Amino acid sequence: MINYIKGNILEISCNALFIPTNGNIGKNGRAIMGKGLALQVAEKYPHIPLKLGIQLKIKNHVIWELYNPQKHHFYEGILYSFPTKYNWWEKANIGLIENSLKEVERLCNIFPYWEKVLLPKVGCGLGGLDWRNQVFPLIEKIISEKNKKIIYIVENQ
């Protein structure tokens, strides 16, 4: 099931938070997280760009535990990447978003105790995709039909 919730996504209690990312790594080995929610996360948790950069050398896919709540204080949940772009300067790629949604759905099945999963409107801000006609139908198709969990789409206040 999909619900909407308003607020600052970095302050909402959850089991898992997925943040939109791209596949680029800077010369310093850190993931490029220069705009939008990715930038907010990088500023709040400065170790994340390096951890993501290391993983991006392997593959641009959903990365688990960018933030480990056992080691640091975080709002109950675990932070995950959600690839929407191959390159930061391009529009979001709907095929990559589809793959990321399939990984989210798989994670929801792996962790049956998850009760609250947060997603922003992936690919629709800086990614330039249309929420209603391109992205939301994919979320409905991939996640809500197969999954009994509640996925919260977070909108800014």
The pLDDT value given to residue 52: 86
The pLDDT value given to residue 88: 94
* Rounded Cα gap, residues 96 and 138, in angstroms: 11
Which CATH number belongs to the domain containing residue 45 in this structure? 3.40.220.10
* Rounded Cα gap, residues 133 and 127, in angstroms: 14
Strand partners of residue 117 = 16, 151
For residue 88, which amino acid is it? Answer: W
Q: Is the pLDDT of residue 67 over 80?
A: no
Q: What is the mean pLDDT of the chain?
A: 84
What global pTM score does this model have? 0.86
- DSSP-derived letter for residue 151 is E
H or E stretch at 138: helix 136-139
The pLDDT value given to residue 38: 92
- The contacts of residue 109 (CB under 8 Å, 6+ apart) are 147
Quote the tokens at residue 29: 């080995």
* Rounded Cα gap, residues 154 and 12, in angstroms: 9
* Residue 76 · residue 14 · CB < 8 Å: yes
SS3 15: coil
Banded model confidence at residue 137, pLDDT cuts 50, 70, 90? very high
Number of compact structural domains in the chain: 1
* Rounded Cα gap, residues 104 and 156, in angstroms: 22
Count the neighbouring beta carbons within 10 Å of the beta carbon of residue 29: 12
Q: Is the pLDDT of residue 75 over 80?
A: no
Strand partners of residue 90 = none
For residue 62, which amino acid is it? Answer: V
* Tens digits of residue pLDDT in 9-53: 888 888 888 999 999 999 999 999 999 999 998 998 888 899 888
The pLDDT value given to residue 116: 86
Average pLDDT for residues 103-124, to the nearest whole number?
88
- Write out the residue range of the structural domain in which residue 140 sits: 2-155
